[in-house]
Structure 1
Amino acid sequence: MATYTSRTVTSTRREWIVPAAQPWGSTAEEIQKAWGAADAAYREACGLHDAPTPGDALRFHVGDDEIVISFTVEAAS
């Protein structure tokens, strides 16, 4: 008889896209708004209340004409 278990893990990636078209890119104000929204969503998704957001929670990726702020959460089912 086998002695193992299995599970399925579903990953959800949330993204906030800030336009950053050339030649001017994006403003700090727009980055700050998206960063704040992403941080709030991360805190809600992970059930953080008064604890600080971990420094590696959000990822920033630069595209040709956008900056993408994202995080990924996983849920076992």
Structure 2
Amino acid sequence: MATWSARTVTTTRYEWIVPAEEPWGAALADVESATAVAATRYREAHGLADMTPIPGDALRYHVTDDEIVISFTTGRPASA
């Protein structure tokens, strides 16, 4: 008898992009604003109250040559 199972998980990645072009990079106000909106959306996606702190690793920051991408991913089992 098999001792394994299978499932399909659907994920959604939410992103906020802050321009960070040289020579000055990104403005702190833009990064803070995008972070605040991302945190609000994270709370909504996870059913948390407005001022509930989010986990320290909830949002991810990826730096590219000309932007900072703030993101989080949600996943759920696909419906049958």
TM-score over 0.5 (shorter chain): yes
Quote the RMSD (CA, aligned, Å). Answer: 1.6
Q: Is it true that 1:71 corresponds to 2:56 in the alignment?
A: no
Q: How many residues align?
A: 77
Percent identical residues: 57
Q: Shift of the alpha carbon at 1:52? A: 1.4
Q: What SS does the corresponding residue of 2:29 show, helix, strand or coil?
A: helix
Q: Is it true that 1:56 corresponds to 2:54 in the alignment?
A: no
- Normalised to the residue count of structure 2, the TM-score between the two structures is 0.86
Structure 1 unmatched ranges of 5 or more:
none
Q: Shift of the alpha carbon at 1:8? A: 1.5
Q: Shift of the alpha carbon at 1:5? A: 5.0
Measure, in 2, the Cα distance between the counterparts of 1:68 and 1:3.
40
- Normalised to the residue count of structure 1, the TM-score between the two structures is 0.89
Letter in 2 for 1:43: R
Partner of 2:26: 26
Partner of 1:38: 38
